[in-house]
Amino acid sequence: RVVGFSRAMQGWAELCALPTHELAPVPDAVSLEDAATLPVAGLTALYGLERGERLLASPVLITGATGGTGLFACALANLMGAHVVAHVRREEQTSV
């Protein structure tokens, strides 16, 4: 049981052939239906950041930084070399 995503595929499929580095094992406690949703937040963040193109040393505001997509966006923007400014609702969320 695995879940995977290929950027070249650009779609969803119940069955497909992918290289092993594009796959992740699905734990027995997780249904395949739930596992199919795992890449969505990360890919949403990645596609949004890629539209911004040159992020190196640029300030990037991430709103909703403590949500699923926001957490991925903060991490990915940081890896892309951006200066991340994370917007959160509550004081206790500032550790993002």
Please state, in angstroms and rounded to a whole number, the distance separating the CA atoms of residues 36 and 32.
6
* Residue 84 belongs to domain with CATH number: 3.40.50.720
Task: Please tell me whether residues 49 and 26 are part of one structural domain.
Answer: no
Range of the domain at 76: 40-96
- Asked whether residue 52 falls in the same domain as residue 91, the answer is yes
Considering the domain architecture, whether residues 28 and 70 belong to the same structural domain is answered as: no
Residue 59 pLDDT? 92
Q: Which pLDDT belongs to residue 7?
A: 74
For 12-43, letters b (16+ CB in 10 Å) and e give: eeeeeeeeeebeeebeeeeeeeebeebbebbe
What is the structure's pLDDT at 26? Answer: 92
* Pair 30, 46 in one domain: no
Encode the chain (96 residues) as per-residue pLDDT tens digits: 998 887 777 777 888 888 998 888 999 999 988 888 878 888 889 888 888 777 778 899 999 999 999 999 999 999 999 999 999 887 767 665
Identify whether residues 61 and 93 lie together within a single domain: yes
Query: Residue 23 pairs with which residues in a beta bridge?
Result: 4
Q: What is the pLDDT of residue 96?
A: 57
Both 50 and 81 in one domain: the answer is: yes
Report field, pTM of the whole predicted structure over 0.75: no
Length of the chain as a residue count? 96
Number of domains in the chain: 2
Pair 28, 48 in one domain: no
Q: Are residues 51 and 95 in the same domain?
A: yes
